[in-house]
C-alpha cells in the first residue's frame, strides 16, 4: 500500500496569520508592523495572586507590559499609591514594571506584606495587573511538650498525634525513627491526611521508643522534628506471667486473651461529615478504622458511580482521590470498613463550589474610525460571580464619558468609534471564592494598506495538490484584496479559486499550466498597494515499481525494488525503514540505487520494509512484508503416559514453526535392546495433533523422538523420550518367505526369512521346522533349530513334493500355527531327448521346427522348456567351409514347435532339440539336416571405372559378397548427365555372370555418365551400387579453344560472362538469406535409379537380423567411388508366416504363443572355411540362452 502526503510551502506561513473579522481588525504578528502601529498597553507577565516569598531572599514582584509607545508603570499597595522613590529598599527594573525589594541588605519581609497592583499606561490607555498578595513564608518550631510513654495492650488501636506548628505554606508531614529511616506503613499502620499515625491494632513488634514526626517546610528548605514518642505493647502472655509471679496459687487471675473486634472508625468520627472543595481542585476523602483483624476499606458514591479515569485510591484504599473535580462530583460518598466480625461506615457529604472561571474572556479590539464593535466578558462560578467593568483602571461609572460606548451588563457596545475612543478596559468577575481580572483594549487605527508577504516569494507545489499563495496584509479600514494572474492579467474569479479572508489565494488543484506570476492588490480609502509572488507546479514523485511481498527461506537472499519517477528539478532521497524504524546496522543490508538487498537472511529480518522517497515538496512510500521461513524447530518436552503392555501415549510440545505451518509430525522409535542407535519410522500424525496413542511390541526397550515437518522441510529430531521396556510375550508371527528347494537330487533345502529381534517378542528365539512328503500318508518330521534361516533334509527321493512349515518360538512359548507351503526335493538332468523332430522351410531365411514332448516323469524336475540348437553347415553356392557358429533358441513351457528366423539363403543347416529343467539340459535329439532355397544376391562388392577416352570407359567389378544362390547375370544401367544436372535416356545392358569387366564404347566425348550396377539370381535382382564417370575432350577442339583463348575479344567476352555470373551469384546469395530454396533435393532425386522404389511400411518384410560377425562386416566403409541409394530395399520372400513361432535366445524371450521378441547368440565351433561368404538376408538380433 502506498501512502502519499503533499507538503505545501505556504501552509507554514498561514498559521501565523489570524482570521480577518468583519467587525474588527486583527493585527498580524509581524514585528516590523507592530513596531510602527500605536497600541494600548498589554500586561504580558505578572506574579501570582497569592505570592508566598522566602523571608531570607529579595522579594521580586513581576509586572511586564508592551505597548506603542512603550508604557510607564506605577504601583499601589493596600489600595493606595506606592511611592517607590521614598523607599530605598525598593527599586523598579529599567523599561519594566517589576519591583525588587531588597531584603538581604537589612530589610524585613514582614514589613512588605500587603496587596500590590501594577498599572501600565501610555497615551492610548492603562492596563492593570491582578491584586498580588505578598506573604513571607513561616516555619515555626514545635512547642515544648512533655510526652508520656504510650502503653498499649496487644490488639488495641492507637493514634500518635503529630500536631505540627502552623506554617506558611503548610508543612509536609512524615514519620521516621532515630536512624532517619521511614517507618513502614501498611493496611494496619498508616499516616492520616492530618499527619497523625494510626494503628488499627497494635502488635508486639510495634514496641519502640523513636516514633518521630517530621515537618518539612519547602519554601525555607527546613525540617522541624517533634520529640520522639515511645510505644510499649503488652502481650497477654507476658502480662499473665508477670501477674502470676506475684499471686499465690490460690489467687484467681481473670485477664482475657487478645480478642477480635469489629471495625470502629478512628477518623472521621461520627456517622456523617461534610466537605467543600473548589472546582478543578483535587478532592481527598479519608477513612481510617480500628479493628482486629485489620479492616478493609471500600468506597462508594450514593446514587451514582465513582468517576472513571479520575478516581484513585491511596494509603491502602483509606484515601479516596478524585482529580479535577466539577459540580457533578457533588454528592454523598460512603466509606465502609469491614472485617470478619462486622463493618462500620461513614458518609461524607461533598459540595463542589467554584471560583469564577471564564466562559468568554474579553479580547482586544482593533477598529477603524467609524466602525462598530463589542467587548464581551462572561464568567461562571458557584455562587455566580458579579461582573464589573473598569476603563483604564478606573471604575467605568466614574471614568471619562465616551459617546461611542454603552455598557450592557457583561458587554460593552461600541458604535461609530473615533481615534479618541482607544482605551484599555478591565473586566472583573468575583465571588466569595475568588476573582478574575482581564484586560482588553480598544485600539482605533487609520492606516493605509500594507502587504506583509515578501515580494516575489516563490511557492513550489506538486501538481494536483492545493497551492496557497499568501498575501498577508494590514490596513485600517480593512483593505479589499484582489488577485491577478500575471502582472497585467485579468482578475481571478470562479470556482477554481478560493479567496480566504486573510488574503490567501488557494488553488485547490494546481496544474502545470498554472505556473507563473500572481499579483495581489490591497486597497482601502487611504491607499493601494500590490505584491507579486511566483508559483511553480512540479510533477509528483511516484514509485512506479513498489516492493512486493516476499517469502524467503532462512539464510537465503532477498531483494526489494523501489523504482521511482520524479520531477527533474527535484532531488529525491530514498530511505528504507524496517518496522517503521531505521534499518539494522548490519553489513548484510545493502541499499542500492533502487533496491534493498538482504544477504544471508535470518529470523530477525522478518518484518515490514518501507521505501520512503522524500523531496522538498512531497513524500511517497510503499511497504512490503518479508516473511522468513525455515524448517520448524524440533519439538520438546516429550512425555510418555498411560503405559500398557501393548500401547503408550506420547505427547510433546511443538517447536517454533518459523512462519511455515507444521503439516505433520513424524514419530520414530529406537529399540535399545536389539538395535541401539538405529531409529525406525513408527507413525505420522497431522500438524495440529500433539498426542498420539502408539502400538507397542513385546520385549522392546522403546525410546521415541518426534520430527516436525513443514513445506520447507523436516526439523531436527527432538530429544529422545524416556525409555520404556515392554514385557516379553510369545511371538506374534512366524518367519516369512518359507521355501523348499533341493540343491542336490537327494536333498531338500528349507529356507526362511528370520524374525528380527524386534519381532522375537522375548528372549530365546528358535524355530520349529516340520516337513512331510506330499500325497503320502506320512507323519510330520520336526526339528527345533537355533535362530538360523536354513535347514537341509538329506536322503530324499529326486524331485518329490513336500509340505513344509516353520514355526517361531521363544522362552515364553510358540507363535501361532504357521501356514504350510509346498516345496520339492532336488532336481536331476532330464533323461530322454524330444522325438519326431521335423523341419518345414518357409522361405530362404525362415524355417519352422516341430517335435514331440517328452514324458514328464523323465524330466526329473521343473520343466523349463525346450532348446533348439542350429547351425549352418555350408553354403550351397560355394563348397568351401568355415567355422561353425551355433545358435540357440529357447522355447518356454511345454511347446512342440518354434520358428527359426534369420537363416541364410541357399545354405545347408543342422539342428537338434533338447528338453530343459531347473538342473540343466537333457540329451540332444538326433541332428536334423535342412536346406534353405536361393535368395536375391547382395550388391557387387565394388564397381570401378577406368581408362576414360573420347568415347569409351572401362568398367570393373567384384562379385557379390553374399550371392545367396547361383548368379545368372549382371545388369548395368547408365545415362548421361548434362551441365544442368538433367538426366538423359537410360540404357540397360545384361552381362554374363562369369564376366568381371566391360568396355563401353560409342559414348559422347566430354560427357558425364551415371551407372547403376547389380547382380541377379534365378530369384531376382539384388541391391545395386552406383558410380559416375566422364569421357575426355577432343584434342583438336581443345587446340582451337586454346587459340581462341588468346584472342582479345574472347578475353573481353569471358570477363563480361564472369561479371554476369558474379551478379547472379550475389542475387542467389540474397535470395538464399531471405529464405529461398536451393534445389538440392530435386538434383538428388534426378540422380536416383528410376527403377528403385521405396518399400512400403506395411509390406510385412522382416527386419534385419545380424550375428556379431555380420554386424562387423556391414559396418565396413564403402569403397571409394561406390554409391548406394538412400532408400535401398530388400525384396520380400513369399511367406504367410509371422513371428509367432520364434524362440528365445540368451537375452530374449517368446510369448506364450512362441512369438520372438529377443535376439540370437550362438556357440561357435570351428569348421573348414568356406570362403568369404555370408548371407545378405537379415541376420538374427540379440540371441538368447535363458528362459523367460
The predicted-structure confidence for 791-806, as pLDDT tens digits, reads as follows: 999 999 999 999 999 9
The percentage of residues in the chain with a pLDDT greater than 90, rounded to a whole number, is 70
- How confident is the model at residue 776, as a pLDDT? 86
Paired sense of beta strands 747-753 and 766-773, if any: unpaired
Whole-number Å distance between alpha carbons of 1068 and 1072: 6
Whole-number Å distance between alpha carbons of 1129 and 840: 27
Whole-number Å distance between alpha carbons of 368 and 370: 6
- How confident is the model at residue 486, as a pLDDT? 82
Model confidence pLDDT, tens digit, residues 912-926: 999 999 999 999 999
Whole-number Å distance between alpha carbons of 182 and 160: 15
Mean pLDDT, residues 1006-1014 taken together = 92
Please determine, for residue 1014, whether its predicted confidence score (pLDDT) is greater than 90: yes
Count, in order, helices (H) and strands (E) of the chain.
Answer: 9, 87
Residue 161: CA count within 13 A, CB half-sphere: 8
CB distance 412 to 406 below 8 Å: yes
pLDDT band at 24 (very low <50, low <70, confident <90, very high): low
| Bigger pLDDT: 175 vs 238 | 175
Mean pLDDT, residues 1-22 taken together = 35
Whole-number Å distance between alpha carbons of 200 and 192: 12
CB distance 853 to 896 below 8 Å: yes
- How confident is the model at residue 812, as a pLDDT? 93
Burial 246-268 (b: 16+ CB within 10 A, else e): eeeeeeeeeeeeeeebbbebbbb
CB distance 320 to 394 below 8 Å: no
Radius of gyration from C-alpha coordinates of the chain: 63
CB distance 972 to 943 below 8 Å: no
Mean pLDDT, residues 72-78 taken together = 95
Please determine, for residue 1082, whether its predicted confidence score (pLDDT) is greater than 70: no
* Closest to 659 (Cα-Cα) out of 713, 603, 706, 610: 603
Model confidence pLDDT, tens digit, residues 439-485: 999 999 988 999 999 999 999 999 999 999 999 999 888 899 999 99
* Of 236-245, 345-354, 759-768, the least confident: 236-245
pLDDT band at 353 (very low <50, low <70, confident <90, very high): very high
Please determine, for residue 332, whether its predicted confidence score (pLDDT) is greater than 60: yes
- How confident is the model at residue 557, as a pLDDT? 95
- How confident is the model at residue 106, as a pLDDT? 77
Q: Give the bridge partners for 957, in sequence order.
A: 943
Whole-number Å distance between alpha carbons of 1125 and 1129: 9
Measure CA of the first residue to CA of the last residue in the chain; give whole Å.
Answer: 70
Using DSSP's 3-state secondary structure scheme, residue 1171 falls into: coil
Whole-number Å distance between alpha carbons of 1002 and 949: 10
* Closest to 298 (Cα-Cα) out of 336, 332, 263: 336
Whole-number Å distance between alpha carbons of 367 and 417: 8
Model confidence pLDDT, tens digit, residues 674-695: 999 999 999 999 999 999 999 9
Helical ranges in 806-926 per DSSP H:
856-859
- How confident is the model at residue 250, as a pLDDT? 42
pLDDT band at 981 (very low <50, low <70, confident <90, very high): confident
Please determine, for residue 384, whether its predicted confidence score (pLDDT) is greater than 50: yes
- How confident is the model at residue 1135, as a pLDDT? 39
Q: Is the peptide bond before 338 cis (omega within 30 degrees of 0)?
A: no
Chain-centre distance for alpha carbon 453: 53
Whole-number Å distance between alpha carbons of 572 and 565: 9
Model confidence pLDDT, tens digit, residues 218-272: 888 888 899 999 999 998 666 556 555 554 444 434 445 678 999 999 999 999 9
Chain-centre distance for alpha carbon 1186: 60
What's the angle, vertex CA 824, arms to CA 820 and CA 825, rounded to 5? 130
pLDDT band at 821 (very low <50, low <70, confident <90, very high): very high
Which residues make Cβ contacts (< 8 Å) with residue 546, sequence separation at least 6?
A: 2, 561, 562, 611, 622, 624
- How confident is the model at residue 910, as a pLDDT? 94
Residues present in the chain in total: 1188
Torsion 895-901-904-905 (CA) sign: positive
Please determine, for residue 1093, whether its predicted confidence score (pLDDT) is greater than 90: no
Using DSSP's 3-state secondary structure scheme, residue 1053 falls into: helix
Does pTM surpass 0.85? no
Using DSSP's 3-state secondary structure scheme, residue 1038 falls into: helix
Question: If 0-12 CB within 10 Å is exposed, 13-18 middle and 19+ buried, where does residue 904 land?
Answer: buried
Please determine, for residue 935, whether its predicted confidence score (pLDDT) is greater than 70: yes
- How confident is the model at residue 253, as a pLDDT? 41
Please determine, for residue 1043, whether its predicted confidence score (pLDDT) is greater than 70: no
Please determine, for residue 1133, whether its predicted confidence score (pLDDT) is greater than 80: no
CB distance 317 to 297 below 8 Å: yes
Please determine, for residue 1074, whether its predicted confidence score (pLDDT) is greater than 90: no
| Bigger pLDDT: 41 vs 105 | 41
- How confident is the model at residue 148, as a pLDDT? 87
Average pLDDT score over the chain: 85
The string of DSSP letters for 314-372 reads ETTTTEEEE-S--GGG-EEEEEEEEETTEEEEEEEEEEEEEEEEEEE----EEE-TT--
Please determine, for residue 1183, whether its predicted confidence score (pLDDT) is greater than 90: no
- How confident is the model at residue 107, as a pLDDT? 78
Mean pLDDT, residues 866-886 taken together = 81
* Closest to 174 (Cα-Cα) out of 164, 159, 166, 165: 164
Whole-number Å distance between alpha carbons of 495 and 507: 10
Please determine, for residue 1174, whether its predicted confidence score (pLDDT) is greater than 70: no
- How confident is the model at residue 48, as a pLDDT? 95
Amino acid at each position: 500500500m502506498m501512502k502519499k502526503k503533499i507538503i505545501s510551502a505556504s501552509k507554514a506561513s498561514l498559521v501565523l496569520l489570524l482570521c480577518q473579522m468583519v467587525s474588527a481588525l486583527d493585527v498580524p504578528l509581524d514585528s516590523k508592523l507592530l513596531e510602527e502601529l500605536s497600541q494600548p498597553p498589554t500586561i504580558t507577565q505578572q506574579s501570582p495572586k497569592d505570592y508566598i516569598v522566602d523571608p531570607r531572599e529579595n522579594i521580586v514582584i513581576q509586572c511586564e507590559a508592551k505597548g506603542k509607545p512603550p508604557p510607564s508603570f506605577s504601583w499601589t499597595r493596600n489600595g493606595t499609591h506606592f511611592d517607590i522613590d521614598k523607599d530605598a529598599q525598593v527599586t523598579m527594573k529599567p523599561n519594566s514594571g517589576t519591583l525588587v525589594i531588597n531584603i538581604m541588605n537589612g530589610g524585613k519581609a514582614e514589613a512588605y506584606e500587603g496587596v500590590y497592583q501594577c498599572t501600565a499606561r501610555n497615551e492610548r490607555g492603562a492596563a492593570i495587573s491582578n491584586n498580588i498578595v505578598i506573604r513571607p513564608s513561616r516555619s515555626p518550631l514545635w512547642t515544648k511538650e512533655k510526652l508520656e510513654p504510650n502503653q498499649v495492650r496487644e490488639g488495641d488501636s492507637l493514634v500518635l498525634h503529630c500536631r505540627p506548628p502552623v506554617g506558611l505554606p503548610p508543612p509536609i508531614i512524615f514519620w521516621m525513627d532515630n536512624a532517619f529511616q521511614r517507618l513502614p506503613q501498611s493496611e494496619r499502620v498508616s499516616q492520616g491526611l492530618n499527619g497523625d499515625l494510626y494503628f488499627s491494632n497494635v502488635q508486639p513488634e510495634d514496641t519502640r521508643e523513636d516514633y518521630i514526626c517530621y515537618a518539612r517546610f519547602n519554601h525555607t528548605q527546613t525540617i522541624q522534628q517533634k520529640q520522639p514518642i515511645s510505644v510499649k505493647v503488652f502481650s497477654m502472655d507476658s502480662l499473665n506471667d508477670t501477674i502470676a509471679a506475684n499471686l499465690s496459687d490460690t489467687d484467681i487471675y481473670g485477664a482475657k486473651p487478645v480478642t477480635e473486634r469489629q471495625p470502629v472508625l478512628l477518623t472521621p468520627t461520627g456517622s456523617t461529615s461534610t466537605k467543600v472543595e473548589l472546582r478543578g481542585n483535587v478532592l481527598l476523602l479519608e477513612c481510617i478504622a480500628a479493628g482486629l483483624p485489620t479492616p478493609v476499606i471500600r468506597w462508594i458514591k450514593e446514587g451514582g458511580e465513582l468517576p472513571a479515569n479520575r478516581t484513585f485510591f491511596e494509603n491502602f484504599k483509606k484515601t479516596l482521590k478524585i482529580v479535577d473535580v466539577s459540580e457533578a462530583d457533588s454528592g454523598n460518598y460512603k466509606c465502609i470498613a469491614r472485617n470478619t466480625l462486622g463493618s462500620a461506615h461513614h458518609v461524607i457529604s461533598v459540595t463542589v463550589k467554584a471560583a469564577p472561571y471564564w466562559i468568554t474572556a474579553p479580547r482586544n479590539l482593533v477598529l477603524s474610525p467609524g466602525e462598530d464593535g463589542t467587548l464581551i466578558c462572561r464568567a461562571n462560578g458557584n455562587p455566580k460571580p458579579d461582573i464589573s467593568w473598569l476603563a483604564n483602571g478606573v471604575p467605568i461609572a466614574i471614568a471619562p464619558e465616551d459617546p461611542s460606548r454603552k455598557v450592557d451588563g457583561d458587554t460593552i457596545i461600541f458604535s461609530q468609534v473615533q481615534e479618541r475612543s482607544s482605551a484599555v478596559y478591565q473586566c472583573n468577575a468575583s465571588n466569595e471564592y475568588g476573582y478574575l481580572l482581564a484586560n482588553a483594549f480598544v485600539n482605533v487605527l487609520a492606516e493605509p494598506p500594507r502587504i506583509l508577504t515578501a515580494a516575489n516569494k516563490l511557492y513550489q507545489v506538486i501538481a494536483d495538490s492545493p497551492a496557497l499563495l499568501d498575501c498577508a496584509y494590514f490596513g485600517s479600514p480593512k483593505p479589499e484584496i484582489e488577485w491577478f494572474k500575471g502582472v497585467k492579467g485579468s482578475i481571478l474569479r470562479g470556482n477554481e479559486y478560493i479567496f480566504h479572508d486573510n488574503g490567501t489565494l488557494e488553488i485547490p488543484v494546481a496544474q502545470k499550466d498554472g505556473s507563473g506570476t500572481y499579483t495581489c492588490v490591497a486597497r482601502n480609502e487611504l491607499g493601494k498597494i500590490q505584491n507579486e509572488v511566483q508559483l511553480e507546479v512540479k510533477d509528483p514523485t511516484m514509485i512506479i515499481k513498489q516492493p512486493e511481498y516476499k517469502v524467503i527461506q532462512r539464510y537465503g537472499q532477498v531483494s526489494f525494488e523501489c523504482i521511482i519517477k520524479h520531477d527533474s528539478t527535484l532531488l529525491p532521497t530514498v530511505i528504507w525503514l524496517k518496522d517503521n524504524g531505521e534499518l539494522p546496522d548490519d553489513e548484510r543490508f545493502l541499499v542500492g540505487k533502487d533496491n534493498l538487498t538482504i544477504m544471508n537472511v535470518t529470523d530477525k529480518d522478518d518484518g515490514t520494509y518501507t521505501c520512503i522517497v522524500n523531496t522538498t515538496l512531497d513524500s511517497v512510500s510503499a511497504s512490503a512484508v518479508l516473511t522468513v521461513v525455515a524448517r520448524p524447530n524440533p519439538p520438546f518436552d516429550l512425555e510418555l503416559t498411560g503405559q500398557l503392555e501393548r500401547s503408550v501415549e506420547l505427547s510433546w510440545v511443538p517447536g517454533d514453526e518459523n512462519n511455515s505451518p507444521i503439516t505433520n509430525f513424524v514419530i520414530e522409535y529406537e529399540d535399545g535392546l536389539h538395535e541401539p542407535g538405529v531409529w525406525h519410522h513408527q507413525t505420522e500424525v497431522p500438524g495440529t495433533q500433539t498426542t498420539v496413542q502408539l502400538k507397542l511390541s513385546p520385549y522392546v526397550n522403546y525410546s521415541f523422538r518426534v520430527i516436525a515437518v513443514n513445506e520447507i522441510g523436516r526439523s531436527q529430531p527432538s530429544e529422545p523420550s524416556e525409555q520404556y521396556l515392554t514385557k516379553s510375550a510369545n511371538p506374534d508371527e512366524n518367519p516369512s518367505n518359507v521355501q523348499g528347494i533341493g540343491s542336490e537330487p537327494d536333498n531338500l533345502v528349507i529356507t526362511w526369512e528370520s524374525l528380527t529381534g524386534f519381532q522375537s517378542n522375548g528372549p530365546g528365539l528358535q524355530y520349529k521346522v516340520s516337513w512331510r512328503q506330499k500325497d503320502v500318508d506320512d507323519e510330520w518330521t520336526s526339528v527345533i533349530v537355533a535362530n538360523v534361516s536354513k535347514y537341509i533334509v538329506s536322503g530324499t527321493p529326486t524331485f518329490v513334493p513336500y509340505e513344509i512349515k516353520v514355526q517361531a518360538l521363544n522362552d515364553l512359548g510358540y507363535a501361532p500355527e504357521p501356514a504350510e507351503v509346498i516345496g520339492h526335493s532336488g532336481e536331476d538332468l532330464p533323461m530322454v531327448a524330444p522325438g519326431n523332430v521335423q523341419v518345414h522351410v518357409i522361405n530362404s531365411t525362415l524355417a519352422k521346427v516341430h517335435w514331440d514332448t517328452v514324458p514328464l516323469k523323465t524330466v526329473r524336475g521343473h520343466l523349463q522348456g525346450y532348446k533348439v540348437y542350429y547351425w549352418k553347415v555350408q553354403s550351397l553356392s560355394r563348397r568351401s567351409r568355415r567355422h561353425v557358429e551355433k545358435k540357440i533358441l529357447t522355447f518356454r513351457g511345454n511347446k512342440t514347435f518354434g520358428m527359426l528366423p534369420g537363416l541364410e539363403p541357399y545354405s545347408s543347416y543342422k539342428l537338434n532339440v533338447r528338453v530343459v529343467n531347473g538342473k540343466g539340459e537333457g540329451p540332444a535329439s538326433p541332428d536334423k539336416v535342412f536346406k534353405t532355397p536361393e535368395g536375391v544376391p547382395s550388391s557387387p562388392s565394388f564397381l570401378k571405372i577406368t581408362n576414360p577416352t573420347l568415347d569409351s570407359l572401362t568398367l570393373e567389378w567384384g562379385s557379390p559378397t553374399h550371392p545367396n544362390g547361383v548368379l545368372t547375370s549382371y545388369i548395368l544401367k547408365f545415362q548421361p548427365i548434362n551441365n544442368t544436372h538433367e538426366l538423359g535416356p537410360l540404357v540397360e545392358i545384361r552381362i554374363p555372370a562369369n564376366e568381371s569387366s566391360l568396355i563401353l564404347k560409342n559414348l559422347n566425348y566430354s560427357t558425364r555418365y551415371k551407372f547403376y550396377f547389380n547382380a541377379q539370381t534365378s530369384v531376382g535382382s539384388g541391391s545395386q551400387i552406383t558410380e559416375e564417370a566422364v569421357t575426355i575432350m577432343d584434342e583438336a577442339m581443345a587446340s582451337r579453344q586454346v587459340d581462341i583463348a588468346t584472342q582479345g575479344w574472347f578475353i573481353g567476352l569471358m570477363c563480361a560472362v564472369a561479371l554476369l555470373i558474379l551478379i547472379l551469384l550475389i542475387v542467389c546469395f540474397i535470395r538464399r538469406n531471405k529464405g529461398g530454396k536451393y534445389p538440392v533435393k530435386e538434383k538428388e532425386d534426378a540422380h536416383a535409379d528410376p527403377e528403385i522404389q521405396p518399400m512400403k511400411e506395411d509390406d510385412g518384410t522382416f527386419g534385419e537380423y545380424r550375428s556379431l560377425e555380420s554386424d562387423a562386416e556391414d559396418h565396413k566403409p564403402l569403397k571409394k567411388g561406390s554409391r548406394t541409394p538412400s532408400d535401398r530395399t530388400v525384396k520380400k520372400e513369399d511367406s504367410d508366416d509371422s513371428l509367432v513361432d520364434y524362440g528365445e535366445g540368451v537375452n530374449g524371450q517368446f510369448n506364450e504363443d512362441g512369438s520372438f521378441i529377443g535376439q540370437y547368440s550362438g556357440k561357435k565351433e570351428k569348421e573348414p572355411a568356406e570362403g568369404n561368404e555370408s548371407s545378405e538376408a537379415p541376420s538374427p538380433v540379440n540371441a538368447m540362452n535363458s528362459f523367460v
